[in-house]
Amino acid sequence: MKKYRTAAILMIIHGGLMEIGGFLFMISALIFGFSNSTVGQYIEFKLQYFQDNLYMMSVMSLIFGVLRIIGAIGLLKNRMWGLALSVINSVSTIILMMFLLPAGIMDGILAVTALVLILMQYFGDRPATSISDR
């Protein structure tokens, strides 16, 4: 249970700081009148499509952040749906992190760490057996 708790705390930090924090940054950029091109001077993604659609990226960031926090709460409450949602969030983040460089590096570190902790807790010390051993 301790590894689930640690993974859930990592996911709450990840969801809160990186995802929702990025969305709040974009809201403040809109309030203070930054355009997509001027915000792009301070935030840079390697793929031009993401760079051109920073505001839509912030909405997607909010969705990922909320789902990550919901999954972490479910994991803290020892619910199987929380486990499944947390694994789905971590795996999808690992897949998408390469497209969101340089910010994806921190996403990847946090998601991989949480996923490894979840898998270590779920599977425990059971040995891996091959099909021929059955």
pLDDT for the residue 38: 62
Start-end of H helices in 14-53 = 21-31, 36-39, 48-52
- Nearest-angstrom CA–CA distance, 127 and 92: 27
* Sign (positive or negative) of CA dihedral 68, 73, 74, 76: positive
pLDDT for the residue 39: 58
**pLDDT above 90: residue 85:** yes
The DSSP secondary-structure symbol of 80 reads H
pLDDT for the residue 44: 66
Identify the burial level of 128 via C-beta atoms within 10 angstroms of its C-beta, where 0-12 means exposed, 13-18 middle and 19 or more buried.
Answer: exposed
> Could you read off the pLDDT of 5-63 as tens digits, one per residue?
999 999 999 998 877 777 777 777 778 777 666 655 666 666 777 777 777 877 888 88
Give every CB contact of residue 121 below 8 A, 6+ residues apart in sequence.
1, 2, 3, 4, 7
User: For 75-79, 101-105, 120-124, which range has the lowest pLDDT when averaged over its residues?
Assistant: 101-105
Q: Which helix (H) or strand (E) holds 11?
A: helix 2-13
- Residue with more model confidence, 17 or 91: 91
pLDDT for the residue 42: 62
Distance linking the first and last C-alpha atoms of the chain: 29
Is the distance from CB of 43 to CB of 61 less than 8 angstroms?
Answer: no
Q: What is the mean pLDDT of residues 124-130?
A: 79
Portion of the chain with pLDDT greater than 90, in percent = 43
Is the distance from CB of 89 to CB of 61 less than 8 angstroms?
Answer: no
- Residue with more model confidence, 102 or 91: 91
